[in-house]
Structure 1
Amino acid sequence: MASRVIAPPQRKRDGVVAGIPKPKAPERNNRRALRDVGNLVIRGVYGKSQQVSRPVTRGFSAQACNVEINNKKKPVIGDGVAVVPKRKLTTKPPQKEVVVVKRPKPETAVIEISLDAEEAKLGTQKSSVKDVQISTAVLSASSKVPCGLVDKTKKTQIVDIDAGDVDNQLAAVEYVKDLYKFYKMAESSIQIHDYMGSQNQINENMRMILVDWLVEVHHVYKLSPETLYLTVQIIDRYLSTRLVHRKELQLLGISSMLLAGKYVDIWAPMVNDLVCISERAYSKEHILGMEKSILAKLGWSLSGPTPYVFLVRFVKAAMADKEMENMAFFLTELGLMHYGMLKFCPSMLAASAVYAARCTLNKSPHWDETLNFHTGYSEPRLIECAKQLVSFHSRSAEVKRNSVYRKYSASELCSVALLAPAKML
């Protein structure tokens, strides 16, 4: 009978059976806080790593990590198994934006503001700040005016004189500003120089008598006002280019009126009528021959701006009534008669007539921002020309032959010639 070898029983040492290896204890989760957060690496676009540098919040991040690890619950080890406490599932809190507010002290204060709360707050603050600014500006402006810190005259608005003619196609509101810019440029090209010194047969007095007679002829035939102004301009332009004999001066006058009537009026005066009104001093052939000579000397150009073109616009800018309009035309026609007024350009003559008319009728103010804008002349520039027009007005009753004075003494033209001239001028 075979014998069995019986192994002696093994002793337990410290509760462990000898010969059996001791099971390894589970490794603990040994973590420590990073002392330097400068080595923080995050994943950027397309898996590339990017180094993040946050010098302002570096110290704060390190302290936050230490606090979080110390307060974190460690896993409980029991029976060789690590038990990690369960976390409650909560909804993801709204993202918060960290705003660093710098103060003069070395310490930095960190304020956490929710994005949703910030947007709502900004929405309410914008309207309140805007209201405060508007009300502050109104209060400050209203307080400066009574104290005299703000000049009220500088804030006067320029009146739109063409607003009432928007629906009138004949007024050409879309082009009127460009038209008068062109007139201002064109008047310098036809400025008439002093020609009386080169004329050895006529003088200033003879020219005044001719214009006075043409005013009467113009009034008898009831031609348009622009025809008279264009007639005088044609006469002066022709006399500045050619010597005229004394006997041909009246012929030049009626031929110039014939051309102006054809250019402006619908029904121009007939040649036979002009022959009769000149008491047959000239024949039909004489008038037509002078007409050809005028057109040849002027190069068939009759479209130069006259004082009437500017006067109509400036009277409208003055918002004048009927009396003031007639007074302005009366003073302008007085200026046409005198040779010395040729040194003033047509626009200045028209603007000075409006200014003198306002002074004569005691209109207040005598000159405003609207007139300054549309005429292009300030009040000091018009004083010299306006004084001469007022002097002509004061002596008009003493002149024996003055068709302009008789014309504007009629009641249908408000008898403006009978009014006293402006004393201030």
Structure 2
Amino acid sequence: MFSKKPTGRNVGPKKVEQPAKGANAKLPVIRPARRAAFGDITNATKDQSIKDGKKKIIADPLKPKTRSNIPVSKEQQAAHIVLKKEKEGKVKHLHDPALLNESEQIISSQESNASERREEEFSFIEGDELNASTAAGERSLLSFDEENKDDVFHVSVYAQDIFDYYKRRERMFRIPPYIGTKQCHITANMRAILVNWLVELQENFELNHETLYLAVKLTDMYMSRVRVDKELLQLLGSAAVFIASKFDERCPPLIEDFTYICDNLFDRNQFIEMEMEVLKKVDFDLGIPISYRFLRRYAKVARLSMETLTLARYILELSLMEYDLITEFDSMIAAAALYIAMRMRSEGAWEGDVVKTSGYELDQIKPLVPKLNAMLHGVKESKLQTVFCKYSHIVFHEVAKIKPLKTSDLL
């Protein structure tokens, strides 16, 4: 369906010929295409400040701020009122009751506005789930977090609260079925082909796995809200990977890399337009909880081996191509994938801390187990073999070659 596969991180280098000068002629030099500073990251390729013949003045962020344009807080305004009235002789000292009341009113109004913003930020939480989450200092830590309490990189005191927050936030990004309703010309098979190609991009560009999962999520969210022609499906997937790369990678690929791997079917302007459209439709909110992050947390708390974690990652990555699973919560898919991997390798049990950190009892994840296991049994008959070949490599402990169990043995 798609015309070109990426060949590596530096895609499409330019060949620069050096002019020959007699006996001192130099050989041709191969170097990557030149890039303007931050041009590919900000997409600031055009001067947008000139409109209708008038140049808009844009403040220089590096220019020192003058006294007139420094933002003043409410507390500073209150203090200024006190000093001003003292100079005018209207008060005898800074502790005048009337003046203090005036200052307190300004500060209290500011605090009330802040509390309203906090309520709006958590407006997606239903019921008393927020109250059920106890403060980190008041509840006992999981044994894994307790052991790593002194390691600042584990942020053990807040780790469980962070993932509890992720789990509540999942509701904001739940995707409804869109094929046959919003999308009439795109089938589940077309979507699977696109995701299979995105896995190739992630592998050849050497991107983080988080980038792949976020890109698939962005693609599904966009298609659930906007009707997409099948001719633009590859453009949408490429733009989603580029956005996810900016969010997760230290050095994202260039736009030219994506236009090259699409065989120049789309030019730079089309690519930037699609990027803008995707960001608008997701309201520029890229903090989407993804199943890969949940899986790593569960495996750490359960103290599983790298082989078992990698097998769970293989199952989870295969699930990205399954359209029937897009309506499920990412945290639950991660839990079901890990449970299957634990049973296949006869390592650990679904109890104790792994139940506490995931919030799912075995009965809650059982409905997903047959779906994921059927996917494992059918992978060899599928024409989409990128994930299978990837996890058949020794780097991934050849976990794709492990024979799956019968569903009856899992349940």
For normalisation by structure 2, the TM-score amounts to: 0.63
Match of 2:394 in 1: 411
- Distance across 2 between alignment mates of 1:368 and 1:260: 34
2:351 counterpart of 1:362: no
- Distance across 1 between alignment mates of 2:163 and 2:348: 26
- Distance across 2 between alignment mates of 1:364 and 1:319: 9
Any idea what the Cα deviations from partners look like across 1:279-304, whole Å, max 9, x if unmatched?
22211111111001111111111111
**Aligned-pair distance for 1:189?**
1.5
- Distance across 1 between alignment mates of 2:394 and 2:241: 27
2:357 counterpart of 1:377: no
The code of the aligned residue for 2:250 comes to I
Match of 1:224 in 2: 208
Match of 1:282 in 2: 266
Match of 2:194 in 1: 210
2:289 counterpart of 1:305: yes
2:362 counterpart of 1:401: no
Q: Is the 8 A contact 2:145 2:157 kept in 1?
A: no
Aligned residues: 268
**Aligned counterparts, 1:185-196, within 5 A:** 185-196=168-179
Q: Is the 8 A contact 1:326 1:414 kept in 2?
A: yes
**Aligned counterparts, 1:316-335, within 5 A:** 316-335=300-319
Any idea what the Cα deviations from partners look like across 1:310-367, whole Å, max 9, x if unmatched?
11111112211111011010000111110001121010000001001011112243x1
Match of 1:82 in 2: none
2:256 counterpart of 1:251: no
Whose RCO is larger (CA < 8 A, sep 6+)?
Answer: 2
2:260 counterpart of 1:260: no
Give secondary structure in 1 for the equivalent of 2:380.
coil
The code of the aligned residue for 1:282 comes to F
Give secondary structure in 1 for the equivalent of 2:312.
helix
The code of the aligned residue for 1:249 comes to L
Q: Is the 8 A contact 1:158 1:369 kept in 2?
A: no
**Aligned-pair distance for 1:223?**
0.6
* Alignment equivalent of 1:314, drawn from 291, 298, 321: 298
**Aligned-pair distance for 1:181?**
1.6
* Structure 2: 5+ residue stretches without partners: 1-139
- Distance across 1 between alignment mates of 2:148 and 2:257: 38
**Aligned counterparts, 1:174-189, within 5 A:** 174-189=157-172
- Distance across 2 between alignment mates of 1:320 and 1:407: 22
The code of the aligned residue for 1:342 comes to I
2:219 counterpart of 1:235: yes
Give secondary structure in 1 for the equivalent of 2:367.
helix
The code of the aligned residue for 2:306 comes to K
- Distance across 2 between alignment mates of 1:169 and 1:271: 36
Give secondary structure in 1 for the equivalent of 2:314.
helix
- Distance across 2 between alignment mates of 1:371 and 1:177: 11
The code of the aligned residue for 1:286 comes to Q
Name segments (4+ residues, structure 1) moved above 3 Å: none
Q: Is the 8 A contact 1:317 1:370 kept in 2?
A: yes
- Distance across 1 between alignment mates of 2:383 and 2:279: 34
**Aligned-pair distance for 1:412?**
0.8
Give secondary structure in 1 for the equivalent of 2:172.
coil
**Aligned-pair distance for 1:401?**
2.2
- Distance across 1 between alignment mates of 2:243 and 2:396: 27
- Distance across 1 between alignment mates of 2:346 and 2:165: 33
- Distance across 2 between alignment mates of 1:315 and 1:177: 14
Match of 1:3 in 2: none
- Distance across 1 between alignment mates of 2:141 and 2:334: 20
Match of 1:342 in 2: 326
Give secondary structure in 1 for the equivalent of 2:176.
coil
The code of the aligned residue for 1:354 comes to L
* Alignment equivalent of 1:390, drawn from 373, 376, 380: 373
Q: Give aligned-pair identity as a percent.
A: 31
- Distance across 1 between alignment mates of 2:342 and 2:307: 10
Match of 2:17 in 1: none
**Aligned-pair distance for 1:191?**
0.6
**Aligned-pair distance for 1:277?**
1.3
- Distance across 1 between alignment mates of 2:370 and 2:142: 27
- Distance across 1 between alignment mates of 2:305 and 2:359: 22
Give secondary structure in 2 for the equivalent of 1:243.
coil
Q: Is the 8 A contact 2:166 2:289 kept in 1?
A: yes
Q: Is the 8 A contact 2:302 2:348 kept in 1?
A: no
Any idea what the Cα deviations from partners look like across 1:181-219, whole Å, max 9, x if unmatched?
211110012111111122111011100000000001101
- Distance across 2 between alignment mates of 1:374 and 1:187: 16
Q: Is the 8 A contact 1:158 1:370 kept in 2?
A: no
Give secondary structure in 2 for the equivalent of 1:197.
coil
The code of the aligned residue for 2:173 comes to I
Q: Is the 8 A contact 2:299 2:338 kept in 1?
A: yes
Match of 2:404 in 1: 421
Greater CA radius of gyration, 1 or 2? Answer: 1
- Distance across 1 between alignment mates of 2:153 and 2:348: 32
